Amino acid sequence: MTRVLDISKVEVVATNFKRRLSGVTSTIVQLIPHQRKRVDIAAFGAGLPPDIPTIAWWRFPSLLKKPAGRAFRIWHARRNIEMLAGLILKVFFKAPLKIVFTSAAQRRHRSFTRFLMARVDAVVATSVRSGSYLDRPHRVIPHGVDCERFSPFSQSTLQNARQNDREEIFQAHRERFAIGCCGRIRHQKGSDLFVRAMIRLLPAYPDWIALIAGATRPNHRGYLDGLKREIDDAGLGKRILFIGEIPDIRPFYRHLRLFVAPSRNEGFGLTPLEAMACGTAVVASDAGSYAEMILPEKTGLIVPAGDKDALCQAIRIYMEDPDSAKRQGRAARVHVQEKFSLEKEVQGLCEVYERLWEERS
């Protein structure tokens, strides 16, 4: 049963009005347990696991009252509908709220979104690039990774894979170097770019295999089948493997010598940070915020989005020298700890909240 809090003690409301799992939902689920060490925060919405403190829908009218010890609550929105709901509460129902909006878009917002953002109290951008499209003052706070959960170390790096029969795949190729990518199998994620790069490169590098983790929605099943045909036609059916969705992705990252993020477009994109936190070097496109995460030739390489030739060239560097990938993987772990830890994200958000409360006092 979902935990229900006494709303009178809640200082910050993290909204989640989308039931289906998404990157925004994952962000909220990761952040709230850490934010609760600093502020009284709870989620409001659907599609959240039962261990996340949640305000029940029937307690919605309680938002019209001040929280204990504060002149107002923070209403943290990450979607238009959540911004709109907060503004309706604040303007029409006189709810004691200040609204914070986080923008991850890598483009100029539509007029309706700009209209809403002009009326909130603070805006956070998840990257310098996303902030460059905003018309108002904002603070850049990148998403972070829990470096204790995502780490090169584990009781057994493969024990969590066993529950989905993935250990057999890892063990069968434990004497080879693995290169992999993860995410939904579709054009936007560049799954075809990765597969075709592997078809070109693997014949010259017999010590390497390629693993592709991620779910395929029904409307992309034909896309997946086409990629599998290309792999079979190249005679690489045993060296380029689709292993499906993995509930715990950490053993996958740890098994790889190189992680590839070939997306054509992204919002923010956490997978390169997760891989780097697990000690794995990364080759990524310049989609989303990837270029702000990776130190070229120190923790990985960046290539133009959609450029298969550039992707092949970058990957080839590490296939030629697996030890360099290992060294850069160690450096990547340190880099994420210093610049992209979840704690740094929590600290930045709490500073935004505190500044709003201080302005009132």
Question: Three-state SS across 67-91?
Answer: CCCCCCEEEEECCHHHHHHHHHHHH
Q: What are the φ and ψ backbone dihedral angles of 97, each rounded to 5 degrees? A: -130, 150
Of the pLDDT bands very low, low, confident and very high (cuts 50, 70, 90), residue 47 is confident
CA–CA–CA angle 109, 115, 118 (5° rounding): 100
Whether residues 223 and 170 fall in one domain? yes
Q: Name the band, by pLDDT with cuts 50, 70 and 90, for residue 21.
A: low
Do 233 and 117 share a structural domain?
A: no
Least confident span in 55-69, 115-129, 179-193, 345-359: 55-69
For residue 327, what are the contacts with CB-CB under 8 A and spacing of at least 6?
A: none
Q: Is residue 154 part of a domain?
A: no
CB 246 within 8 A of CB 252: yes
pLDDT of residue 23: 76
Strand partners, 282: 259, 300
More confident residue, 157 or 196: 196
Structure tokens at 96: 């004691």
Mean pLDDT of 33-55: 92
**Mean pLDDT throughout 91-112?**
95
Same domain, 248 and 328: yes
Is 82 a member of any domain? yes
User: What is the token pair recorded at 183?
Assistant: 């995410």
pLDDT averaged over every residue in the chain: 91
Our count of domains for the chain comes to 2
Q: What percent of the chain has pLDDT over 70?
A: 92
Note whether residue 155 is domain-resident.
no
Same domain, 174 and 234: yes
Residue 288: per-residue pLDDT: 85
Q: Are residues 313 and 181 in the same domain?
A: yes
Question: Alpha-carbon Rg of the chain, whole angstroms?
Answer: 22
Residue 161 has pLDDT above 70, yes or no: no
335 with 355, same domain: the answer is no
Let me know whether 23 and 56 are in one domain: yes
Q: Do 12 and 139 fall into the same domain?
A: yes
Q: Are residues 202 and 95 in the same domain?
A: no
**Domain assignment of residue 2, yes or no:** no
Residue 292 located in a structural domain: yes
Please, which pLDDT band fits residue 360 given cuts at 50, 70 and 90?
Answer: low
Q: What is the pLDDT confidence band of residue 2, given thresholds at 50, 70 and 90?
A: very low
Q: What is the pLDDT of residue 323?
A: 97
154: confidence class by pLDDT, cuts 50, 70, 90: low
Tell me the residue ranges of DSSP E strands in the chain. 12-16, 41-45, 73-77, 97-103, 122-125, 139-140, 177-182, 208-213, 240-244, 258-261, 281-285, 300-303
DSSP secondary structure letters along 147-214: TTTSSS--S-TTTTTGGGT-HHHHHHTTTSEEEEEES-SSTTTTHHHHHHHHHHHGGG-TTEEEEEE-
308 CB-near residues (< 8 Å, 6+ apart): 193, 196, 197
| Inside any domain, residue 331 | yes
pLDDT band of residue 159 (cuts 50, 70, 90) is very low
Q: According to the model, what pLDDT value does residue 361 have?
A: 52
Tens-digit pLDDT profile for residues 307-354: 999 999 999 999 999 999 999 999 999 999 999 999 999 999 999 999
For residue 110, what pLDDT band results from cuts at 50, 70 and 90?
very high
For residue 288, the tally of other CB atoms under 10 A from its CB is 25
- Kindly state whether residues 307 and 168 are assigned to the same domain: yes
What range does the domain containing 49 cover? 7-144+342-360
Band of the pLDDT at 163, cuts 50, 70, 90?
Answer: very low
Classify the phi-psi angles of 244: left when phi > 0, otherwise alpha if psi is within -120 to 50, otherwise beta: left
Q: What is the pLDDT of residue 175?
A: 52
Query: Residue 107 sits in a domain of what CATH number?
Result: 3.40.50.2000
Report pLDDT for 160. 47
The verdict on 251 and 355 lying in the same domain is no
Is 151 part of any domain? no
Which of 173 and 267 is assigned the larger pLDDT? Answer: 267
Looking at the fold, whether 242 and 95 belong to one and the same domain comes out as no
